[in-house]
Chain A
Amino acid sequence: MGVDNALIPARAAPPVSRLAWNRLDLLWLVVVAALLAAGMLKSQGAFSYRWDWGSVWPYFVKTDSVTGQWAPNLLLQGLMTTLRLALWGMLMATWVGLIAGWMRNHPRLLLRMVASAYVMTVRNIPPVVFVFIFVYFISNQFMPFLALDQRVSALPVEVQSILTVFFGPMELINNFFLGLVCLSVFSGAYVTEIVRAGLNSVPSGQSEAVSSFGMSHSDVMIQVVWPQALRNVMPSLTGQFIQLIKDSSLVSLVSIQELSFMAQDVQVSTQRVFEVFVLTAAIYFCICFVLSQVFAYIERRHGRAH
């Protein structure tokens, strides 16, 4: 009987159940359900609110009195504006953040100072105060100069209807633009810091290796550093985009006609506070949840290379 030199062959692992329910979990479930039921019973007497969804739903979609067909009402229009703000806001905030993030790490002192000043200002003022200052300053000083509504009304009707799809009703273009720029500048500061973290996260050996080939500095950055930098911070970036959608509700304070603003409007007319805001919350939840699933998919496909 000699020593067997063969290795022990590998076996399949013992099965692991994915739902690790056991008796203790079931006991917890029963206890929590019992507490909830007891709480609801007790509060029946005190909680005398009568839910009335019927009066709120028409504000989402109404039946047009003239044509008899379904037409979007306030809440749905607000939702469309929020979606437009979200889409364009993400695009603009990304560009603001990329440029400012590049400036933050630049060898030239002036660029660094400008970008640092921008980030520090935005991050150290509460969002509400920032929105008020920014919007009223821009709307007072800058919008008359831009004269967007006049330029747009001078365009042919076909162009205007295409623009309406992307930017909302043309008579509100000033309003929309204000909200968009405010949101982009605000979110851009946070994106800047994320981009900067990404640039710092690429090991210096990567750019050294590229320099040693004789590649120009811009080639080094574009081919090797930026792709890795952005992949490394993709979770933070996508998280900031979700945050931007929620931050869009801030611009309701300056009468930008997005979903939160409309919700307050409807709430005032119907006096149905809970129904209106629960519906609004559900809509925001759906948007953010769907987007976060999309981002999770993108991260899985194109995330960190290692």
Chain B
Amino acid sequence: MTPPLIDVRNLNKWFGQHHVLRDIHLKINAGQKVVICGPSGSGKSTLIRCMNQLEHHQEGLIYFDGRLVDQHQTYLQDIRRDMGMVFQQFNLFAHMTVLQNCVVPQMRVLGLSEQAARERAMQLLERVRIPEQAKKFPAQLSGGQQQRVAIARSLCMQPKVMLFDEPTSALDPEMIKEVLDVMTELAQSGMTMLCVTHEMAFARRIADTMVFMDEGCLVEQANPEDFFERPQSSRTQTFLSQIL
């Protein structure tokens, strides 16, 4: 049996005195799509950010592709290279065009030539259906378009897993669909995805595993059908009744 791509064991994190992640155990296999949901403040974003060490955990172990993920490891940059992250606030480089946003990380991190980087960037911009915006600056695009550029930018690095931290929470409702369509197509193409979102219909469609977190604890983990139809924990039931 192949080892899991991401293996989180007994993860604990504090922000000062606030115990924000409590004994998290999670295994994600290659090709698996995991959706994490839960009330705000439950630690979902913190968990995802610990995966690539944008937040540092104090206790517990995270293994990515067999290697220990830790802020002190010299190969942390290599690990981050294999993880693509899409943020709630897009975080596109405001002073560069869309094309440059996709090309510069490839050239600086992967060492590709500008020609090769451009080709890959244009391919991915076509995949997210905005190739005509390549020469524009992020401020000239709508929120949905910016988020799709962010997804294309991450995909340019050819990551092994894509981490999504509430990608549609900052978008107007009419733009959410275009981003979810891109994410659905990405899921169907076989990418390993770890997604924090409130979009339950989308989660039901693409997830292999649903995870519910509350107050830093991983309360329930199940496949979508069992999760939505027969939630085991009362807290899961309360949460689902509030949002569905």
Given that A223-B104, A231-B95 are known contacts, is A208 also in contact with B109, CB under 8 Å in the complex? Answer: no
Whether a CB of chain A sits under 8 angstroms from the CB of B80 is yes
Shortest CB–CB separation between residue B116 and chain A, in angstroms? 17
* B169 is an interface residue with CB less than 8 A from chain A: no
Q: How far is the CB of A300 from chain B (nearest CB, A)?
A: 15
Q: Hey, which chain A residues are within 8 Å of B81, CB to CB?
A: 213-214
The verdict on B31 contacting chain A, using a C-beta distance below 8 Å, is no
Count A interface residues, CB 8 Å.
20
Asked if A205 and B109 make an inter-chain contact with CB atoms under 8 angstroms apart, the answer reads: no
Chain B residues lying within 8 Å of A82, measured Cβ to Cβ, are none
Q: Which residues of A contact B52 (CB under 8 A)?
A: 212
CB distance from B188 to the nearest CB of A (A): 24
Q: Which of B79-105 contact A (CB under 8 A)?
A: 79-81, 83-85, 87, 89, 91-95, 104-105
* A211 x B87 contact (CB < 8 A): no
Residues on B with beta carbons closer than 8 Å to the beta carbon of A215: 77, 105, 108-109
Contact of A306 with B by CB under 8 A = yes
Out of B80, B89, B95, which one reaches A228, CB within 8 Å?
B95
- Asked if B229 is at the interface (CB within 8 A of a chain A CB), the reply is no
- Residues of chain B within 8 A of A208, CB atoms compared: 54, 87, 91
Quote the shortest CB–CB distance from B240 to chain A (angstroms).
31
Instruction: Give the complex CA separation of A27 and B183 in angstroms.
Output: 66
Q: Mark B46-90, 1 if CB is under 8 A from A, else 0.
A: 000000101000000000000000000000111111011101010
Contact (A214, B91) CB under 8 Å given A208-B54, A223-B104: no
Whether a CB of chain B sits under 8 angstroms from the CB of A96 is no
Query: Quick check: is A171 within 8 A (CB to CB) of the other chain?
Result: no
Task: Pick from B54, B91, B137, B157: contact of A305, CB below 8 A.
Answer: B137
A254 within 8 A of B: no
- Interface residue from A205, A206, A213, A306 paired with B105 (Cβ < 8 Å): A213
- Residue B139 CB within 8 A of the other chain: yes
Q: CA separation between A103 and B127, bound complex, in Å?
A: 43
Give the secondary structure class of A's interface. Answer: helix
Query: Cβ of A205: which chain B residues have Cβ within 8 Å of it?
Result: 87, 89, 91
Cα distance A292–B198 in the bound complex, in angstroms: 51
A43 within 8 A of B: no
CB atoms of A305 and B87 under 8 A apart: no
Q: Which residue of A lies closest to B89 (CB)?
A: A205
A213:B95 contact, CB within 8 angstroms: no
Contact of A212 among B54, B95, B137 (CB under 8 A): B54
Is A239's CB within 8 Å of the partner chain B? no
Q: A209, A210, A212, A224 — which one has the most chain B CB atoms within 10 A of its CB?
A: A212
A213 touches B94 (CB 8 A): no
Note all chain B residues with C-beta closer than 8 A to A212. Answer: 52, 54, 80, 83-85
Contact residues in B for A223 (Cβ distance below 8 Å): 93, 104, 108
Known contacts being A212-B54, A214-B81, is A305 close to B95, with CB within 8 Å? yes
Binary CB contact string for chain B from 117 to 158 against chain A (1 if under 8 A, 0 otherwise): 000000000000000000001110000000000000010010
Indicate the member of A211, A214, A228, A231 with the most B CB atoms within 10 Å.
A214
- A213:B109 contact, CB within 8 angstroms: yes
Which residues on B sit within 8 Å (CB–CB) of A219?
108-109
With both chains docked as a complex, state the minimum distance between the C-beta of B168 and any C-beta of chain A, in angstroms.
Answer: 16
In the complex the two chains form, what is the Cα distance from A89 to B91 in whole Å? 37
- The 0/1 profile, CB within 8 Å of B marked 1, for residues 220-240 of chain A is 000110011001000000000
- B74 to A: closest C-beta gap in Å: 11
Least CB separation from B52: chain A residue: A212
- Which of A208, A209, A216, A305 is most buried by chain B, counting CB atoms within 10 A of its CB? A209
Beyond A208-B87, A213-B105, is A224–B93 a contact (Cβ under 8 Å)? yes
Would you list which residues of chain A between 198 and 212 have a CB under 8 Å from chain B?
A: 203, 205-206, 208-212
Give Cα distance in the complex from A214 to B106, angstroms: 11
Per the bound structure, the CA–CA distance linking A35 and B205 in Å amounts to: 80
Which of B52, B78, B104, B108 is most buried by chain A, counting CB atoms within 10 A of its CB?
B108
Shortest Cβ distance from B78 into A: residue: A214
Beyond the given A205-B91, A206-B94, A209-B87, could you list 7 further A-B residue pairs with CB under 8 A, ordered by the A residue number?
Answer: A206-B91, A212-B84, A214-B80, A215-B77, A219-B108, A223-B93, A305-B94
Residues of chain B touching chain A, judged by Cβ–Cβ distance below 8 Å, are: 52, 54, 76-81, 83-85, 87, 89, 91-95, 104-105, 108-109, 137-139, 154, 157
Pairs A–B under 8 Å by Cβ, sample size 11: A209-B91, A210-B105, A212-B52, A212-B83, A213-B105, A213-B109, A214-B78, A214-B79, A219-B109, A231-B95, A305-B139
8 residue pairs, one from A and one from B, having the closest CB atoms: A209-B91, A214-B81, A214-B80, A306-B139, A214-B77, A212-B85, A305-B94, A205-B91
